[in-house]
């Protein structure tokens, strides 16, 4: 999306080193990934692909509604 780490940090209300740390992780929470995508004005959708067709996984959207903001500086 052509955003610098500093711009993304500003959108997430965290410091730039926190963005760099998250970008280097090989595994992260879905909620963290969702926050990054939403900060870039996107929307996260999770689908499972099977030979008979795709299935949209909706259970994570419920978690998003119930959860509070995650502190990426931790």
User: What pLDDT, in 10s, does the model give residues 19-62?
Assistant: 999 999 999 999 899 999 999 999 999 999 999 999 999 876 55
* Domain presence at residue 71: no
Backbone angles phi, psi at 59, to 5 degrees: -60, -25
The total number of structural domains in the chain stands at 1
Residue 2: band (very low, low, confident or very high) from pLDDT cuts 50, 70, 90: confident
Range of the domain at 34: 5-66
Average pLDDT over residues 8-14: 94
**Can you give the pLDDT at residue 1?**
81
| Residue 73 belongs to some domain of the structure | no
In a domain, 74, yes or no: no
pTM, rounded to two decimals: 0.70
pLDDT score recorded for residue 74: 43
The answer to whether residue 48 sits within a structural domain is yes
What lies within 8 Å, CB to CB, of 53 at 6+ separation is none
């Amino acid at each position: 999306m052509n955003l610098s780490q500093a711009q993304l940090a500003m959108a997430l209300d965290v410091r730039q080193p926190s963005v760099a740390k998250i970008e280097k992780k090989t595994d992260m929470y879905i909620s963290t990934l969702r926050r990054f995508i939403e900060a870039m004005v996107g929307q996260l959708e999770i689908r499972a692909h099977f030979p008979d067709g795709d299935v949209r996984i909706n259970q994570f959207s419920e978690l998003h509604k119930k959860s509070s903001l995650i502190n990426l500086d931790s």
